[in-house]
């Protein structure tokens, strides 16, 4: 069995990075993001990236760190409203953006990982989302064609892994991570705990190890995207 466990995020990314590559990143807001892998990616200096992720983090955390260093050239996202630097770069014409409805983005990633070149969906018909895309009628209703997404690299965050790379995500931190994991030609998983082989219940594994090339254990820094408190 090939060695999948690496000692550090930087080591786990070594040999996988190049300028101009496409990277899919798991997470929703700051929940379930591969935070230490993103930091290692920033420190690598890899640039002109196309980043595919539900959102772009916040200004000082998550993918916001890569926006700050201008390493991302293009974003493919469904929501970007929490990042002021993202807004500034986009409005200034410094950052390319492709918006996707959230469900469409998830399905594009899932389809790519399943070897499906594309699919038709009703979502986005009659809006700018459908501009320039094939429209076809099924059962009297219009559908727009969306391509599946394959990326050079996927970065995900999991709760537990075994040495084979089988992953278990924790509750809502699962979010986009399973689809992102399968969409990459290579996948690196940042995990909170590595358990012995055979200790994970096969029925509870969310992403099989066949999709995961490297894993690294890290200590999470669980930041809150929008802290709301009750003064009472």
Would 131 be classed as within a structural domain? no
Residue range(s) defining the domain that contains residue 25: 5-115+151-217
Of the two residues 79 and 141, the one the predictor is more confident about is 141
Contacts of 188 (CB under 8 A, 6+ apart): 12, 13, 16, 34, 37, 153, 154, 155, 156, 212, 213, 214, 215, 216
What is the average pLDDT across 95-114? 97
- Residue 143 falls within a domain, yes or no? no
Q: What is the CATH number of the domain that holds 14?
A: 3.40.1080.10
Structural domain count, the chain: 1
Instruction: Evaluate if residue 45 carries a pLDDT over 70.
Output: yes
Report the pLDDT value the prediction gives residue 224, as an integer from 0 to 100.
Answer: 81
Residue 228 has pLDDT above 90, yes or no: no
Specify if 204 maps to a domain: yes
Question: From its phi and psi, is residue 86 left (phi > 0), alpha (psi between -120 and 50) or beta?
Answer: alpha
Model confidence over 166-203: pLDDT tens digits? 999 999 999 999 999 999 999 999 999 999 999 999 99
Place 41 in a pLDDT band, splitting at 50, 70 and 90.
very high
Q: Give the tokens for residue 232.
A: 């009472």
pLDDT at residue 80 tops 90: no
What is the reported pTM? 0.95
Q: Would you say residue 22 lies in a domain?
A: yes
**134 inside domain:** no
CA dist., res. 192 & res. 218, Å (int):
6
Q: What is the pLDDT of residue 1?
A: 67
DSSP per-residue letters across the chain: ----EESSHHHHHTTT--TT-EEEE--BTTBT--HHHHHHHHHHT--SEEEE-S---BTTBTTHHHHHTT-EEEEEES--TT-HHHHHHHHTT-SEEEE--HHHHHHHHHHHHTT--EEEESTTTTSGGGTTS-EEEETTEEEEEEE---BSEEEEEEEEE-TT--EE--GGGGTTHHHHHHHBSSEEEEEEEE--TT-S-GGG-SB-GGG--EEEE-------SS------
167 occurs within a structural domain? yes
């Amino acid at each position: 069995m090939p060695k999948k466990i690496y000692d550090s995020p930087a080591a786990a990314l070594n040999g996988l990075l190049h300028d101009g590559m496409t990277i899919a990143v798991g997470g929703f807001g700051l929940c379930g993001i591969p935070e230490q892998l993103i930091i290692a990616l920033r420190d690598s200096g890899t640039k002109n990236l196309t980043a595919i992720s539900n959102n772009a983090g916040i200004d000082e955390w998550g993918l916001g760190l890569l926006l700050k260093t201008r390493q991302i050239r293009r974003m493919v996202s469904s929501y970007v409203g929490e990042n002021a630097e993202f807004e500034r770069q986009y409005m200034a014409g410094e950052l390319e953006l492709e918006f996707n409805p959230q469900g469409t983005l998830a399905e594009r990633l899932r389809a790519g990982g399943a070897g499906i070149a594309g699919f038709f969906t009703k979502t986005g018909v009659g809006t700018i989302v459908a501009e320039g895309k094939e429209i076809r009628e099924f059962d009297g209703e219009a559908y727009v064609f969306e391509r599946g997404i394959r990326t050079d690299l996927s970065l995900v965050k999991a709760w537990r892994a075994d040495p084979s790379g089988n992953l278990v995500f924790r509750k809502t931190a699962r979010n986009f991570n399973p689809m992102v994991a399968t969409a990459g030609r290579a996948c690196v998983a940042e995990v909170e705990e590595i358990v012995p082989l055979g200790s994970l219940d096969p029925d509870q594994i969310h992403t099989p190890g066949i999709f995961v090339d490297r894993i690294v254990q890290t200590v999470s820094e669980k930041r809150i995207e929008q802290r709301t408190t009750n003064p009472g």
